[in-house]
Structure 1
């Protein structure tokens, strides 16, 4: 700062002879001189109260604060990068696990589909067998009904034929023979 004051003072004094032509430079009525005195007094007060060292200390303190903030930011950045790498690893692991789950689910679905197909085939086979059994049973019942009907018709026809050909004497003779057969079988 003193160097600055020494550099500024000769340059201000050098302008003095140019202004001296209008009057004496070292005079309180000369505004340039008054400004020079006020400036020098201001610089002196600043130096007396050690303002440059205070400003330097404040700037050093601010620089140290900025440096600590930069260090903290660098630390935070490193932590963020490690967290990011950790999350990326976890994401890859989760993606791999999800892929395994999907593959397992697809495999289980195909096994379940195959099992369902086999169950459907066996169900269809059982139903076809049951239907064939029902058809055979219905066919047997129909044949039995037809036979019963034919027997009934044949018996009725035979009764009519026998009744038409039989006389009262033949009827009495058959009844007596039947009674004798029953007595012989019972005794």
Structure 2
């Protein structure tokens, strides 16, 4: 009448009844709920960390962009300063060359004037000596002195 399958089924039902009576499903459900909560907390923490990392990444990208912009501005300003300094140096060099050219021209002009004056003085002295010699040989003393005095005063006026 009762075969072994029947007893196995009865044993299984008794085992299931004891398990239910002892609260094993609640314990399993509680453990699964606890594990589910732990997983959810880990997911929330991972999500928060990810959001925080994205914020930090965005902030650092902003800082990097800002630093790149600042470096570009610094390079641009440095190039402008180099251009300005170069232009000023070129202008100063041109002014120095022009000033030295004017000084050289003035020195040349002064040397020409001095040479001309020196030639005039030598010509005057030579003329004076020639006239003096000529007059002293060819004129009497009284007339020659008068002509000599006139010539000297004439030469002094011209110089």
TM-score by length of 1: 0.52
Q: Distance in 1 between matches of 2:82 and 2:27?
A: 79
- The DSSP-based 3-state class of the residue aligned with 1:166 is helix
User: Which structure has the greater CA radius of gyration?
Assistant: 1
Cα distance, 1:81 vs structure 2: 1.4
Deviations for 1:72-129, whole angstroms, at most 9, x for unmatched residues? 4443332221111101001111111111122222222222222222222222111111
Compared CA separation, residues 170 and 150, structure 1 to 2 (3 A): farther
Q: Give unpaired runs (5+ residues) of structure 2.
A: 1-6, 8-17, 133-147
Match of 1:105? Answer: 67
Deviations for 1:127-149, whole angstroms, at most 9, x for unmatched residues? 11111100000001110111121
- 5 Å-filtered alignment, 1:126-165, equals 126-165=88-127
The structure with more helix, counted as a fraction of residues: 2
- 5 Å-filtered alignment, 1:1-187, equals 71-167=33-129, 169-170=148-149, 173-174=152-153
Compared CA separation, residues 141 and 151, structure 1 to 2 (3 A): same
Larger relative contact order (CA 8 Å, sep ≥ 6)? 2
Q: CA RMSD in A?
A: 3.3
Q: How many residues align?
A: 121
